[in-house]
Amino acid sequence: SPGDSVVTLLDYGAGNVRSVRNAIRHLGFDVKDVQTPEDILNANRLVFPGVGAFAAAMDVLNKNGMAEALCSYIEKDRPFLGICLGLQLLFESSEEKGPVKGLGLIPGVVGRFDSSNGFRVPHIGWNALQIRKDSLILDDVGSNHVYFVHSYRAMPSDENKEWVSSTCNYGDNFIASVRRGNVHAVQFHPEKSGDVGLSILRRFLYPKGQLTKKPTERKALKLAKRVIACLDVRTNDKGDLVVTKGDQYDVREHTKENEVRELGKPVELARQYYKDGADEVSFLNITGFRDFPLGDLPMLQVLRYTSENVFVPLTVGGGIRDFTDANGRKYSSLEVASEYFRCGADKISIGSDAVYAAEEYLRTGVKSGNSSLEQISRVYGNQAVVVSIDPRRVYLKNPEDVGFKTIRVTNPGPNGEEFAWYQCTVSGGREGRPIGAYELAKAVEELGAGEILLNCIDCDGQKKGFDIDLIKLISDAVSIPVIASSGAGSAEHFSEVFRKTNASAALAAGIFHRKEVPIQSVKEHLLNEGIEVRI
Ligand code: 1PR
């Protein structure tokens, strides 16, 4: 029938649902948006990618009669796929800013992960599934990792065991997916889980299809260390958006013309890295601190195009702050972030503005709630907010010389200094601020950051390895995931950072752009070293 090629999508406008749309279209279906409860009842297949906070989602569903329609649709065993919050909302209640009542279709309470046992919260990254029963849509997953990003989870119990089709281990064995008849829901993001994720969606959309992907030989065991490709983006002197790469943040050629170094086109490179097995792709709009990003329509276009066929998480940073344009029109950082999310970003990354927010918080001891970091994480959840730190190493003879956290360095400074602190900078490294990376990291964790992207100006583009002292310091200081960045020159540098520090991910730019070290060879090296990775 004509409706056969249509997927009905329940999107209440709270986050990035573009990727789900793109994935459905990629698999040959049209998307019809739910406008009224009747659209739910009349759906041939319904996808519900819940985003945002539990309470806010329940409010929307209750207000316009969607909750009742959803329950009735599911109770009739009509084809349903809930994703992430779309799984959690099926339970009785959630502790997220609650207790808050859910749809009550599955017995159980959604609770927060416990970070006291050494597991970082949010649970971000590629993890393994333990299949509990025939789940149909997970038939191709077998031994592959899938992508999770959440701080709350439901637990299996005797009361809900008829539902639980797989679990995942992260401190707890929590519910990764449920199935009863034609009703499915998954805690992870199939639309962000690469080929394996697409095969899950395909099996939901074409339930009688053949096996699409042979499970790999190697069984995924636990949360994988992520390898991230980063694209520093800016306009060149001709006004085109290009991928550039600096040496210690200097992106200009040292020639007479002093032109911006160009290493490729953003959309093409992102696609290439996705094919090569990057676990995530980050775009940093490196002149965003001075140019207003919503004036920078090409960057939004880059995100839209990239998310059409890159099915791993996308992060975008640069210029996320309040802004008043030439006509006096005010834009809040939340509007900037919302536009990025609408265009296909899964996470936004804040640099300079997070430094100012942390300074203010440390000075006053009060969370104002007004910083971009706090506002965006309140609305989109802290898992969607990365803070990018751009510190510079400052050597010291004497650790008492500054009022910031100092460390004894592994390699002494140029004048034999044995100590250092890491000074935060803003505006792409142009201005040093009176705050250390350690103090900043702890403050932004309290203000609601879900992850830290830890650069190091001294190491950037040098290919001599990550700053292990810095990454150890920060990854031991916070309980949110830390992405190690700056200085990768070989596959061995990745295994070193994962062996010596508690980094959850490692990011590189130059070696990937110059094709000096392919992503695949980094992954293979890590695998050979016994480090869990997604292959
Ligand atoms: O301050 O919120 O507007 O955000 C600006 C963002 O742009 C920040 O995330 C900041 O890190 C970034 N940025 C600003 N200027 C530069 C520059 O290079 N001139 N790039 C810049 C940061 C660092 C990494 C790089 C790694 C790995 N680049 O992104 O990709 O160091 O490089 P490597 O593997 O080649 O060593 P705001």
Query: Is any atom of ligand 1 closer than 6 Å to the C-beta of 231?
Result: no
Ligand 1 center from residue 355 Cα (angstroms) = 15
Length of the chain: 535
| Beta bridge partners of residue 456, listed in sequence order | none
535 residues of the chain, pLDDT tens digit each: 556 889 999 987 766 788 999 999 999 999 999 999 999 999 999 999 977 788 888 999 999 899 999 999 999 999 999 999 999 999 999 999 889 999 999 999 999 999 887 899 999 999 999 998 888 899 888 889 999 999 999 999 999 999 999 999 999 999 999 999 999 999 999 999 999 999 999 999 987 765 555 555 667 889 999 999 999 998 888 888 899 999 999 999 888 888 889 999 999 999 999 999 999 999 998 887 677 666 666 788 899 999 999 999 999 999 899 888 888 888 899 999 999 998 999 999 999 999 999 999 999 999 999 999 999 998 888 999 999 999 999 999 999 999 999 999 999 999 999 999 999 999 999 999 999 999 999 999 999 999 999 999 999 999 999 999 999 999 999 999 999 999 999 999 999 999 999 999 999 999 999 999 999 999 999 999 999 999 8
- Tokens at residue 59, please? 């409010």
Ligand 1 center from residue 508 Cα (angstroms) = 11
Q: Choose, from 123, 145, 150, 189, the residue flagged as catalytic.
A: 189
Site to substitute for ligand 1 among 232, 249, 262, 462, most atoms within 8 A of C-beta: 232
Instruction: Give the CA dihedral 407, 411, 413, 417, nearest 10 degrees.
Output: 50
Site to substitute for ligand 1 among 242, 249, 251, 287, most atoms within 8 A of C-beta: 249
What domains sit in the chain, N to C, each tagged with a CATH number?
Answer: 2-205 (3.40.50.880), 226-388+425-528 (3.20.20.70)
Q: Give the start-end residues of each E strand in 181-258.
A: 183-186, 226-235, 241-244
- pLDDT, position 266: 95
Query: Is any atom of ligand 1 closer than 6 Å to the C-beta of 355?
Result: no
Residue 513 catalytic?
no
Residue 26 catalytic?
no
Ligand 1 center from residue 286 Cα (angstroms) = 6
| Beta bridge partners of residue 109, listed in sequence order | 93
535, 527 Cβ separation under 8 angstroms: yes
Query: Is any atom of ligand 1 closer than 6 Å to the C-beta of 47?
Result: no
Ligand 1 center from residue 349 Cα (angstroms) = 11
Distance (Å, whole) CA 232 – CA 230? 6
Q: Choose, from 96, 139, 191, 445, the residue flagged as catalytic.
A: 191
Distance (Å, whole) CA 187 – CA 177? 6
390, 457 Cβ separation under 8 angstroms: yes
Distance (Å, whole) CA 385 – CA 448? 8
Max CA-CA distance within the chain?
78
- pLDDT, position 403: 95
Ligand 1 center from residue 317 Cα (angstroms) = 9
Residue 84 catalytic?
yes
Atom of ligand 1 nearest to the CA of 426: 1
Atom of ligand 1 nearest to the CA of 352: 1
Give me the half-sphere count of Cα atoms (radius 13 Å) on the Cβ side of residue 486. Answer: 23
Residue 424 catalytic?
no
Ligand 1 center from residue 232 Cα (angstroms) = 6
482, 475 Cβ separation under 8 angstroms: yes
Residue 230 catalytic?
no
Cis peptide bond upstream of 518, omega within 30: no
- Tokens at residue 369, please? 């709630």
Q: Which amino acid is at 234?
A: R
